[in-house]
Amino acid sequence: MTSNSYIYLEHDGKILLVDSQGVGPQIPIQGRTRSNSIDGWMLRLPSESEIKSMGINWKKKGEFFIKHQKLTIKVTKGIPEIEWPHNWAWKDNIISDSAVHPVARESVYRSIHRLVSKVIIKNENEEILMAKVKRGHFTGSWTLPGGYIDHDEHPRLGAARETLEELGIQIDINESNSSIVSQKIFSEEGISFVSFTYLVTISSRNLKFKLKEDEIESVKWFEKREAVNSATSWFDSEAIKNLI
């Protein structure tokens, strides 16, 4: 793999791989190790010219960059204009073949959404509860309660769990609560974040917090405009603007 630019074509869970000579499509072999290879990595992503030689038309969807050894490799994401490719590789099978080049395997990892669940907690005065965090992506900033969703967890349960863990207060979220789903890629790494944000109204008169000491510095009630301006996260500010 000598080029600094490759194409990541995905169609309904299938990915185009080629061999070290650019011949494809190729299928991973579960349990294979790199030591089985004579000429280095056996399978990799194709180049633009190799895709053209296969007669495949495709549309660009985006791009991201991967650092491999001393190289910065550009990977262009594309949508192939073909019928479902039954002879392409299942993306879930690529990780099990150690002879697939790390850039191809990292590209699969980058294609998986990161799921986050948050909650707007509003009181009887139309104020919004926000927390100043000590660690993570927004250290030192004000954010809505919430965090990453566990693998087998519904977003509603994840938002309630994170609120209990971070602030020590219990909330109920069900299907009747207003919500918004947002998606955005923020960096050249190409990782896509999807955020589920729910709106919950509670009484703050007798509310007692038990903050998670290693994560939350303090909490504060904000009026809407102040909350939007204080939120560092794009997901938080968009949710507040749309749900309040």
Whether residue 118 sits in one domain with residue 90: no
120 and 195 share a domain?
A: yes
Tell me, yes or no, whether 157 and 227 share the same domain: yes
Residues 171, 211: one domain? yes
Q: Which domain holds residue 229?
A: 114-243
Domain end position, chosen among 90, 110, 130: 110
Last residue of a domain, one of 110, 128, 159: 110
Q: What is the pLDDT along the chain (244 residues), one digit of tens a residue?
A: 456 899 999 999 999 999 999 999 999 998 888 765 445 689 999 999 999 999 999 999 999 999 988 889 999 999 999 999 999 999 999 989 999 999 999 999 999 999 999 999 999 999 999 999 998 888 999 999 999 999 999 999 999 999 999 999 999 999 999 999 999 998 888 999 999 999 999 999 889 999 999 999 999 999 999 999 999 999 999 999 999 8
pTM of the model: 0.84
State the total domains in the chain. Answer: 2
Q: What is the CATH number of the domain that holds 88?
A: 3.90.79
Q: Are residues 61 and 34 in the same domain?
A: yes
Q: Domain check: are 70 and 187 in the same one? A: no
Question: Distances from the Cα of 194 to the Cαs of 73, 88, 152, in angstroms?
Answer: 25, 27, 16
Do 106 and 120 reside in the same domain of the chain?
Answer: no
Q: How remote is the C-alpha of 158 from its chain's centroid? A: 16
